A and B are shown apart, each in its own frame.
Chain A
Amino acid sequence: MSGRRAQSLALNLALAGGAALTLAPLLWMVSASFMPAGQTNSLPPHLLPAPPVLDHYRALFARLHLARAFANSTTIAVSATMLAVLINGMAGFAFAKLRFAGRDRIFRLLLIGLVIPVQVGMLPLFLLFKSLGLVNTLAGAAIPSCATIFGIFMVRQYALGIPDELLDAARIDGASEARIFFAIALPQLKPILVTLGLFTFLSTWNDFLWPLVILSDDAKYTLPVALASLSGEHVQDTELMMAGAVLTVIPVLVVFLILQRHYVRGLLAGGVKG
């Protein structure tokens, strides 16, 4: 069937073309970050660095304190991720498997919150954090990410699948609820907790508006805030900015590539069941 073969060829060409278009900006970013200063502003355009140099990466670390922003981003993303996994994990399990007064009503109220954008509460939250001394601290940037409605929802949907007999058997054996959670529920919940951790890490690392609002001193800036501020001062230094963009993007891309199958599961948990 030659019609089918032509169709297959067209389809696969379209896929390859789409992939080239999708990757081009990212590949150009990496390539330009190794170009000598000014090479991106030459005609005809260079696609590859000639010769490749590390000057911009050195400048970012030596002069522009990007290592500090890298450390701040890492601290915020890692601590928010660990806390979010524990706090949302416990709550999601409770909403699915522990009977307590008002449980279902509270859960429905939480779901209403999913459609309210965070910006509505951002101004009062800033004033609250100001009165608590959390403005311009890494903790202030991380705390709002430590418990999320979506995180609780995700864990709850998954935890509904844990058989009650498993928990009741442990109760009859006299295990405390805390012990049941850590020894029995946690191992069962592990896959969804990895997904939740990945989501939290990516979203806190990439977050911009809240860190921009809460962090006022450049010693506390996260990578996206530092990069946005640098890009205002160094508009002409294309190659330098590309090196900064690479440093910001590479960690999340690597984490994603290692854990990508967990990401897809979480996305579908929200999409299919939600």
Chain B
Amino acid sequence: MGGERHAGWGFAAPALFLIVTCFFLPVAAGLLLSLTDFDIYAVASPDTARFVGLANYGRLLADPVFRQALGNTLYFVVVGGPLSVAVSLAAALLLASKLARFPTFYRSVYFAPVVTTLVAVAVVWRYLDHPRYGLLDQALGAIGIRPIDWLGDPHWAMPAIIVLAVWKNFGYNMLILIAGLQRIPDELYEAAALDGAGWWSRFRHVTLPGLGPMLLFVSVLTMLGNFQLFAEPYVMTQGGPLRSTTTLVMLMYEEGFRWWRMGHAATIACLHLVMMLAGTLLHLRMQHEAR
């Protein structure tokens, strides 16, 4: 049917046009941009940009600021990601238990931070983290822990951001994991219980394998999200103190849109992409070997 063929293209065309112009072409252009010295003069007249090959990559990999941003981003990914998934899993296990009262109410409560505006809650947490008046140090003080200058101390600023990120995001993975837990047949648990398996053994041999692919999906999603850390340090620390919370996306933003060194910024974005792809492959590999 010719009508259907034309209609198919016609219906898909507006979306494809927008996605190609706003996403695929810019991504391809971004790869090319990283091979040029596109700077503030080129923003005004693009023909002044020159092809420089891989010079940006060499310069960047040798740049201590870039290395630090890379280290900070990996810190957030490697520590914050598993922590976030662990909290999500704990919450999902509690909520999926048959002993839980009011599970729908708790589910909504735990999920609420996910829909809130990141910038707004980062502003809130900036005050919660205050060393003198912040609720966090007040609460820690009540159990005898001395106040920590969370956002003013280079060792504690990233942990403070991780705490905010776990609080903000755990509800999302929790919902996905609850759905996964509900698909594990009760008979498996009953059989394990008959074999005399304790709580830990059931968790290890029934729950975890049952969640398998879902846990992988959630971990990859969290990792990809964590690689893009930007708004939290932008609002809470401006990348400080001593650049201890400057991330790759933040560096890209500063290079590209504050100093208009677009060639450098595009190089950061491309290396960022490479690392996210490598991280995804690493996850798939680990899953493969675990089987």
Q: Mark B49-84, 1 if CB is under 8 A from A, else 0.
A: 000000000000000000000000000000000000
What is the CB-to-nearest-CB distance from B28 to chain A, in angstroms, rounded to a whole number? 8
Q: Given the interface contacts A100-B4, A123-B266, does A228 sit within 8 Å of B119 by beta carbon?
A: yes
- Residues of B with Cβ closer than 8 Å to A? 1, 3-12, 14-19, 21-27, 29-31, 33, 43, 46, 91, 94-95, 97, 99-101, 106, 108-113, 115-121, 123-128, 132-133, 135, 138, 167, 171-172, 175-176, 179, 214, 217-218, 224, 227-228, 230-231, 234-235, 249, 252-253, 256-257, 262, 265-266, 269-270, 272-273, 276-277, 280
Contact in complex: B266, A209 (CB < 8 Å):
no
The one of A113, A177, A245 that contacts B123, using a Cβ cutoff of 8 Å: A245
In chain A, positions 139-181 with a C-beta closer than 8 Å to chain B are 143-144, 146-149, 152, 171, 176-178, 181
**On chain A, which size bracket covers the interface?**
35 or more
Contact in complex: B12, A206 (CB < 8 Å):
no
Q: Mark A217-239, 1 if CB is under 8 A from B, else 0.
A: 00000011101100100000010
CA distance A171 to B5 in the complex (A): 13
Q: Which residue of A lies closest to B234 (CB)?
A: A228
Contact in complex: B118, A123 (CB < 8 Å):
no
Q: Given the interface contacts A15-B100, A119-B249, A124-B33, does A22 sit within 8 Å of B113 by beta carbon?
A: yes
The one of B26, B111, B253 that contacts A125, using a Cβ cutoff of 8 Å: B26
27 contacts between A and B (CB under 8 A): A19-B110, A25-B113, A25-B128, A25-B135, A26-B124, A32-B127, A43-B132, A87-B15, A91-B11, A99-B4, A100-B9, A103-B8, A113-B24, A120-B30, A121-B27, A122-B256, A123-B266, A127-B43, A143-B22, A147-B15, A177-B10, A206-B115, A245-B117, A245-B123, A249-B121, A256-B112, A272-B179
Contact in complex: A88, B15 (CB < 8 Å):
yes
Q: Which residue of B lies closest to A176 (CB)?
A: B3
A115 beta carbon closer than 8 Å to chain B: yes
What is the CB-to-nearest-CB distance from A91 to chain B, in angstroms, rounded to a whole number? 4
Q: Which residue of A lies closest to B276 (CB)?
A: A117
Q: Which residues of A contact B270 (CB under 8 A)?
A: 120
- Residues of A with Cβ closer than 8 Å to B? 4, 7-8, 11-12, 14-15, 18-19, 21-26, 28-29, 32, 40-43, 45, 87-88, 90-91, 93-95, 98-101, 103, 106, 110, 113, 115-128, 130, 143-144, 146-149, 152, 171, 176-178, 181, 202, 205-206, 208-209, 212-213, 223-225, 227-228, 231, 238, 241-242, 244-245, 248-249, 252-253, 256-257, 260, 263-264, 267-268, 271-272, 274
The one of B15, B30, B227 that contacts A124, using a Cβ cutoff of 8 Å: B30
Contact in complex: A8, B4 (CB < 8 Å):
no
Contact in complex: A87, B138 (CB < 8 Å):
no
Contact in complex: A248, B117 (CB < 8 Å):
yes
Secondary structure at the B interface, as helix, strand, loop or mixed, is: helix
CA distance A10 to B14 in the complex (A): 55
CA distance A21 to B241 in the complex (A): 27
Contact in complex: B11, A94 (CB < 8 Å):
yes
Q: Which residues of B contact A98 (CB under 8 A)?
A: 4-5, 7-8, 11
Q: Given the interface contacts A98-B11, A241-B127, does A124 sit within 8 Å of B29 by beta carbon?
A: yes
Contact in complex: A29, B119 (CB < 8 Å):
no
